[in-house]
Structure 1
Amino acid sequence: MLQTYQKILVPVDGSYEAELAFRKAVNVAKRNGDDSSIHLVHVVDTRAFQNISSFDTAMVEEVTATARKTIEGYLEDAKKEGIKHIDYSIEYGAPKVVIAKDLPAENDIDLIMIGATGLNAVERILVGSVTEYVTRNAKCDVLVVRTDLDNKPALSKEQRKGFEKE
């Protein structure tokens, strides 16, 4: 019997890798039937604001508004593809923990579909990759998306200039 996933978590940040993960999640949800649902999440990394001496809530509100606009585009695309059960949240905190531990526990997630990291080797050593952390720490299955819908390698950074959602 084939494994079916009912609750799929897809972290999105407007990047090309997140777009690939979203597209594949839509296909998985369609294959798994009407009971499957997708939960999109954008995590605002509040640690990025800790170094700003005069913490400005307007900055957080701007980041949140941009995230909401990006997610609304994903919601529209999913509905056009026939996905009936899709929702989203915008969370605040450390993306690694929110994606790997908090949301899966709160929402009974059985699959996380996440884009492959865009970090180079030095950046991974210094800050670590969210994708790497999620694959090591999530209690549910994790699918790291590295290819497009035709299972062809993702475009290189040069090939996808201008692709990232604003």
Structure 2
Amino acid sequence: MLQQQYKQILVPVDGSYEAELAFKKGVAVAIRNNASLHLVHVVDTRAFQNISSFDTSMVEQVTDTAKETLDKYIEDAKKAGLNDVDYSIEYGAPKTVIARDIPQNLNIDLIMIGATGLNAVERLLIGSVTEYVTRTAVCDVLVVRTDLDNKPAVNPSKHV
């Protein structure tokens, strides 16, 4: 029986608990498939366009925080036994960068993305990146909704 093998896996990370679960599961899937794992953090530049005095130091701050998180993820992946792991920080609209740009540029065949933390009203008003990616991505998408024991994910910081 032939098994699906993924070779290029993309995991978008944004510092959220849901993204961390997607990262952890992404590492496990990459190891099982002997695949490359690509992490991406997308800085949504549209969020800064409404600020009257566009301050580049704000973008630099966001970028520095993302680098710290991504460096830690790379370290964790290597400790788990995955050496073929890298990351990039992109700027633009997260939806299209994750669903289209990176998959085409890196020949991604699987996107593993955390389930959104937005409620139904927020999704309706601003739209969920996860929802957009599942609808429009050019490759398979796996939405991570559970923890490493496949139990429903409960964000510890939301239930204090």
Please give the TM-score of this superposition, normalised by the length of structure 2.
Answer: 0.96
**Residue 138 (structure 1) aligned with residue 137 (structure 2):** yes
Q: Give the superposed CA RMSD.
A: 1.2
Q: What CA distance in whole angstroms lies between the structure 1 residues aligned with 2:19 and 2:5? A: 22
Give SS of 1:161's match: helix
Gaps of 5+ in 1: none
The within-5 A match list for 1:1-166 is 1-33=2-34, 36-155=35-154, 157=155, 160-161=156-157
Q: Give the counterpart letter for 1:103 in structure 2.
A: I
Give SS of 2:86's match: strand
Relative to its length, the structure with more helix (as a share) is: 2
* Runs of 4+, deviation exceeding 6 Å: none
Tell me the CA shift for residue 162 of structure 1.
7.8
CA deviation profile, 1:105-128 (whole Å, cap 9, x unmatched) = 000000000000100111000000
Gaps of 5+ in 2: none
Give SS of 1:87's match: strand
**Number of equivalent positions:** 158
Q: What CA distance in whole angstroms lies between the structure 2 residues aligned with 1:117 and 1:17? A: 7
